[in-house]
């Protein structure tokens, strides 16, 4: 419940677990498998992500593939309101690894902002305006922020980098600041 609650507190219209159910956990699994094959064909390894094990368990062991199949992270009772699958806590909670609500919010916001910077680096996004508008309307980034790159600008590039490094140390390399972000900060620039 904390993940969904903190996502809404951060300004996202829908929590990531609900979005995952809507998209379909089985589709997410298929995309990951195809990506691994494509990367292998290029001689590259698939990056490890902690969600992989959770999705694999939900899809393969618990047969919970998403909303269309009647259950994923949520249960969808006929004629009733959706609710988080009661078994989530029992099967996935790690009491010794509780994290703060602020870290939950920051992990959600920062990973989307970092990935947006990576999309700019790779030429997938050509302008800051496209990145900001697309992040709000395309992936549900917190509208109050003005978009993923504007979030970084408002946070302050150096402060964002410091927080991203903390998140990388605590939660994995995927939070490491991309080279473009480091370059802009070193030059005293923002995303325009």
Local mean pLDDT, 10-residue blocks, the chain (192 residues): 96 96 97 96 94 96 97 96 96 91 98 98 97 96 97 98 98 97 98 97
Q: Is 192 inside any structural domain?
A: no
Q: Is 128 inside any structural domain?
A: yes
Shared domain for 123 and 86, answered yes or no, is: no
Shared domain for 92 and 6, answered yes or no, is: yes
Shared domain for 86 and 106, answered yes or no, is: no
Out of 68, 96, 124, pick the residue that ends a domain: 96
Q: 79 vs 76, 82, 94, CA distance in Å? A: 9, 9, 33
The pLDDT, as a whole number, for residue 109 is 98
Q: Which has the closest alpha carbon to 12: 104, 80, 92?
A: 104
Out of 78, 96, 114, pick the residue that ends a domain: 96
Rg, Å, the chain Cα set? 18
Shared domain for 91 and 105, answered yes or no, is: no
Out of 96, 116, 147, pick the residue that ends a domain: 96
The pLDDT, as a whole number, for residue 189 is 98
Q: Is 73 inside any structural domain?
A: yes
Shared domain for 80 and 117, answered yes or no, is: no
CA 113, 181, 132, 153 torsion-angle sign: positive
CA 20, 21, 25, 28 torsion-angle sign: negative
The pLDDT, as a whole number, for residue 18 is 97
Q: Is 170 inside any structural domain?
A: yes
Q: Is 137 inside any structural domain?
A: yes
Shared domain for 87 and 135, answered yes or no, is: no
Q: Is 191 inside any structural domain?
A: no
Q: Is 168 inside any structural domain?
A: yes
The pLDDT, as a whole number, for residue 32 is 95
| CATH number of the CATH domain containing 163 | 1.10.1040.50
The pLDDT, as a whole number, for residue 71 is 97
Shared domain for 89 and 173, answered yes or no, is: no
The pLDDT, as a whole number, for residue 183 is 98
The pLDDT, as a whole number, for residue 60 is 97
Domain that holds residue 129: 101-186
Q: Is 19 inside any structural domain?
A: yes
Q: How many domains does the chain have?
A: 2
């Amino acid at each position: 419940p904390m993940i969904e609650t903190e996502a809404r507190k951060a300004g996202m219209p829908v929590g990531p677990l609900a979005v995952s159910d809507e998209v379909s956990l089985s589709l997410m699994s298929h995309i990951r498998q195809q990506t691994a094959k494509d990367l292998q064909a290029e001689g590259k390894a698939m990056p490890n992500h902690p969600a992989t094990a959770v999705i694999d368990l939900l899809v393969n062991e618990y047969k919970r593939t998403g909303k269309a199949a009647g259950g994923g992270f949520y249960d969808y009772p006929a004629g009733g309101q959706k609710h988080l699958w009661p078994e989530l806590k029992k099967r996935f909670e790690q009491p010794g690894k509780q994290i703060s609500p602020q870290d939950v919010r920051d992990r959600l916001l920062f990973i989307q902002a970092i990935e947006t910077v990576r999309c700019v680096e790779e030429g997938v996004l050509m302008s800051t305006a496209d990145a900001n508008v697309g992040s709000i309307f395309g992936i549900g980034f917190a509208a109050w922020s003005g978009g993923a790159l504007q979030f970084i600008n408002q946070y302050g590039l150096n402060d964002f980098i410091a927080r991203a490094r903390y998140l990388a140390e605590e939660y994995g390399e995927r939070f490491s600041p991309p080279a473009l972000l480091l370059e802009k900060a070193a030059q005293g620039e923002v995303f325009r």
